[in-house]
Chains A and B, each alone.
Chain A
């Protein structure tokens, strides 16, 4: 069974640009969550999608957005990139929202210069 796949693995962008990250969950998993990991703030919840609907959103500005497709694949977008957006972005999938374990992808390392 394939794990959670995130693409690309590494990305370098310039301030002001926008970026789209992709996440393919484990087959059969319908819930996808996104997290940002930085040395200063640690792991922070961005948003969660289930059945193409955003169920929860973390405390991030509107420049951070996401969506989920009918096949449960998810994308997140960051517009008008800032240096502080440099981070490891992790996607996690689970069967359903709530009381189940989450499986994480290897992450996308975004560097904003």
Chain B
């Protein structure tokens, strides 16, 4: 069963705009991770935030985690056409990852 649920399912923006994706989950977690997948290829790890952290930055990425609401958000600032991909959140518990269904992001030039 899916643990994380991303919102929105699809997002279309222009280059230079910011993109925000949200993820909700159901059970307690050790950490939450965000991954990117380009067109049916392998997943690329973006960022990991532990359950005792509230915010983390990596380049143009900003992730927040609210364990009381069991939710996380991924913000991509100043988006580029190359950011076009599917983005998945994954919760880690008992050393396994449980993925949501993903958000498809389209960044138009």
Interface residues, chain A, with chain B CB atoms under 8 Å away: 4, 31, 33, 35, 42-45, 48, 55-56, 58-59, 88, 90, 92, 97-107, 109
A56 and B42 contact, CB distance less than 8 A:
no
Query: B residues touching A (Cβ–Cβ < 8 Å)?
Result: 1-2, 30-31, 33, 35, 40-45, 48, 50, 88, 90, 92, 94-102
A107 touches B92 (CB 8 A): no
A101 touches B42 (CB 8 A): no
Select which of B40, B50, B98 is within 8 A of A45 by beta carbon. Answer: B98
Residue on A with the closest CB to B46? A101
Contacts of B97 in A (CB 8 A): 33, 35, 45, 92, 102
Question: Among the listed B50, B90, B99, B102, which residue makes an inter-chain contact with A99, where contact means beta carbons less than 8 Å apart?
Answer: B50
Supposing A48-B96, A97-B95 touch, asked if A109 and B44 sit within 8 A by C-beta, the answer is no
Contact between B45 and A99, CB atoms less than 8 A apart: no
Given A99-B31, A101-B45, A101-B48, CB of A55 within 8 Å of CB of B95: yes
How many residue pairs, one in A and one in B, have C-beta atoms under 8 Å apart?
60
A46 → chain B, closest Cβ, in Å? 10
- Whether B94 pairs with A56 at a CB distance below 8 angstroms is yes
Contact of B48 with A42 in the complex, beta carbons under 8 Å: no
Q: List 9 A-B contacts (CB under 8 A).
A: A33-B96, A42-B100, A42-B102, A45-B97, A56-B95, A56-B96, A90-B43, A98-B92, A103-B45
CB distance from A78 to the nearest CB of B (A): 19
Chain A residues whose CB sits within 8 angstroms of the CB of B99 once the complex forms: 35, 42-44
B45 touching A88, Cβ below 8 Å: no
Contact, CB under 8 Å: B41 / A106 = yes
Q: Which residues of A contact B98 (CB under 8 A)?
A: 45
Residue pair B40, A42 in contact (C-beta under 8 Å): no
